[in-house]
Structure 1
């Protein structure tokens, strides 16, 4: 009887493509990109290398049928990896050409390597988005929480919060007024709770909560919406009003304001889904 180690499936080939694209992206730029260490260069290489390593792990576990020996929920882990990888590669696909191609004049060989890495980063982003689309739960399907829209939004919320942390910390832009410190507290508290939900789902520990998981999600979602609403209002007031404004890099401050509003909308949509889960299902 023939043994097929690689079954033919769309999801499998999409993952193989993602592994090849991310591996090529960081290999090409590491060999001929002539990047200095630190800053955005490290972020881009980390994004490609992390995505490559995690996807390769998923491939090996599934092809060797080791899911039962891995201490995580395999219905939640692969799509969580794919969603984070798609966001990481998307950010690298935007950041890398802005910082290392635009207004840069390296040698032709170096420029070719950087262009190639950008192209493969974009291809990896598309591959991961396709994987998420293939893996997410369909209407009426019983699936892990991370395969549902609220689960995917949790990943987006934590990722957006990480970008905010980077923007507000270099230089520090939240320490000259108590209202801005409150905004920073909002980002930290909501990030920790959203990441806790992701970890609980991937680790199959939702039953450890003293309240039903669905009700916890609704209560936390309402709290996060209220907190992010205050941050969405306070951040632009105390950063851009002439009475409170402090001179500095306005581009970072504007980006934080936009990302804060984006996360507010994500938490609002998340709350709507969670409330529907509790009240409509009941």
Structure 2
């Protein structure tokens, strides 16, 4: 009777990822109430990242590894982006100003949640850097730098959509409504593209990468670069120029939920996603030139 080899032990890095996310949402919940918008979003990000890591750990323990190497990588890229964003958002709403009436214990738990979130972001980023496809190495599209950048673009688009909507962009200046539309469309199109590639639909999901698909992906990155370039100008122009209805300085006495802080954060994240689309276009153009 042939001997069966035991499944490999779970990855220590993935165990650390799951543990840090579990600590983050557990301590956030133990600290008491959190802000209904951003607080709920941060806790959801940690819980979803933990759930994905737990599923992958379960698959490893059962010896049923994912059939495609880009599935864990896409999860790691999305979790790294979400946890990094939560590391910024959580202190803005829960560590500035008063302690929320929960005393030193509640504040310590919130600080622990922020620290665990930062650790989780670093651990997920380390997985992406370790396992991403190297130049010239055959791999599914979503394991390559352009594919991973599209995951980051999509998560940032979702984050910007939520923050802009919470700022009342839909009822604000017309320029802000345009920005809201840009965030919405970029998230929706990016989600369809990422899910389609992971599902195996189209050339990007099958590793064939014909010239037509490469050009289409390059055009997508170029369109995103132009759209976010416009948003990077319009959002701060109408948010911080007083002659256009904005506010140039932070209001005195603005508390932890200060709308001005969130407007600055939207402007910074818009510029960040602009850089990500620029990097995506650079990688996609390089693929077109190299493979014709």
TM tier relative to shorter chain: 0.7 to 0.9
Question: For residue 50 of structure 2, what is the aligned residue in structure 1?
Answer: 52
Structure-1-length-normalised TM-score: 0.85
Structure 1 stretches of 5 or more lacking a match? none
Cα contact 1:76–1:201 (8 A) shared by 2: no
- 1:66-145 correspondence to structure 2 within 5 Å: 66-67=64-65, 74-105=68-99, 106-145=102-141
Q: How does 1:160-239 map to 2 (within 5 A)?
A: 160-207=156-203, 212-239=212-239
**Contact 2:49–2:79 under 8 Å retained in 1:** yes
- 1:32-77 C-alpha deviation (Å, 9 max, x unpaired): 3122462333222212211110011112223324357xxxx62221
C-alpha deviation, 1:218, in angstroms: 1.4
Gaps of 5+ in 2: 252-258
Matches within 5 A, 1:255-274: 255-274=265-284
For the 8 Å contact 1:21–1:124, the answer to whether it is kept is yes
Residue 29 of structure 1: aligned partner? 28
Range that drifts further, 216-225 or 236-245: 236-245
**Does the Cα contact within 8 Å between 2:218 and 2:281 map onto a contact in 1?**
yes
Comparing 93-102 with 19-28, greater Cα deviation is found at: 93-102
Return the alpha-carbon distance in structure 1 between the equivalents of residues 31 and 65 of structure 2: 38
The CA distance in 2 between the partners of 1:128 and 1:163, in whole Å, is 18
Query: Contact 1:86/1:124 (CA < 8 Å) preserved in 2?
Result: yes
Given that residues 225 and 268 in structure 1 are in contact (C-alpha distance below 8 angstroms), is that contact kept between their aligned partners in structure 2?
yes
Q: Give the deviation of 1:15 after TM superposition.
A: 0.3
* 1:5 alignment counterpart: 7
TM-score (norm 2): 0.82
- Contact 1:22–1:52 under 8 Å retained in 2: yes
Alpha carbons of structure 1 residues 182 and 42: separation in structure 2 relative to 1, 3 Å: closer
Moved more, 205-214 or 149-158: 205-214
For the aligned residues, what is the CA RMSD? 2.8
- Aligned to 2:169, the other structure's residue is in SS state coil
| C-alpha distance in 1 between matches for 2:96 and 2:222 | 42
Moved more, 199-208 or 78-87: 199-208
Q: Structure 2: how far apart are the matches of 1:161 and 1:88?
A: 11
Aligned partner of residue 260 in structure 1, secondary structure: helix
Moved more, 87-96 or 130-139: 87-96
Partner of 2:255: none
CA distance in structure 1 between the partners assigned to 2:35 and 2:170 by the alignment: 27
